Amino acid sequence: MNTLIHHTTGLIHLFSAVAALLLGSFVLFMKKGTLLHKRMGYLYVFSMIVMNITAFCIYELFHRFGPFHIAALISSVTLLMGFLPALFKKQIPSWIYYHVFGMYYSAIGLYAAFAAEVIVRIPGIHFGIGVSVATLVVMGAGILIIQINKKNWLPKTQSN
């Protein structure tokens, strides 16, 4: 792991991850339901799809299907859980509930992956321990934030 990028796929993965981090952060903190929210949301989804697809093409670390491929699967599921209900909201009565939680969990997973990536780059940090601690801390904080704020994010009838 001496270099950050091993090939073109890794470069595309890096750029799509950075784009998703930036776009996702803007979308999380901007006013919801606006045209800008929707457009940036579509860009976030696109960048996450590219990031996850490229993740499945990277095998340098374990030389086989590994834990980061499982994380990409989970990321894909949370992304779809958040995106599809908004896309098909007329067919899904409680679409906003699924959209909000799917997208927030998608973003939390992305932040956790970023924290894990940064922590393992610090010399002297054990890879497995660094990834585990960074992921657990960020996921725990994100879940706590969701639990504290969910009443404010959902319509009154959905907040239970």
pLDDT tens track for 93-107: 889 989 999 999 999
Q: Residues 6 or more apart from 5 whose CB is under 8 A from it?
A: 11, 14
pLDDT tens track for 73-98: 999 999 999 999 999 999 998 899 89
pLDDT in the model for residue 153: 73
- Which residues, given as ranges, of the chain have pLDDT below 70? 1-6, 60-62, 155-160
Query: How far, in Å, CA of 41 to CA of 46, rounded?
Result: 9
- 17: closest CA among 116, 140, 100? 116
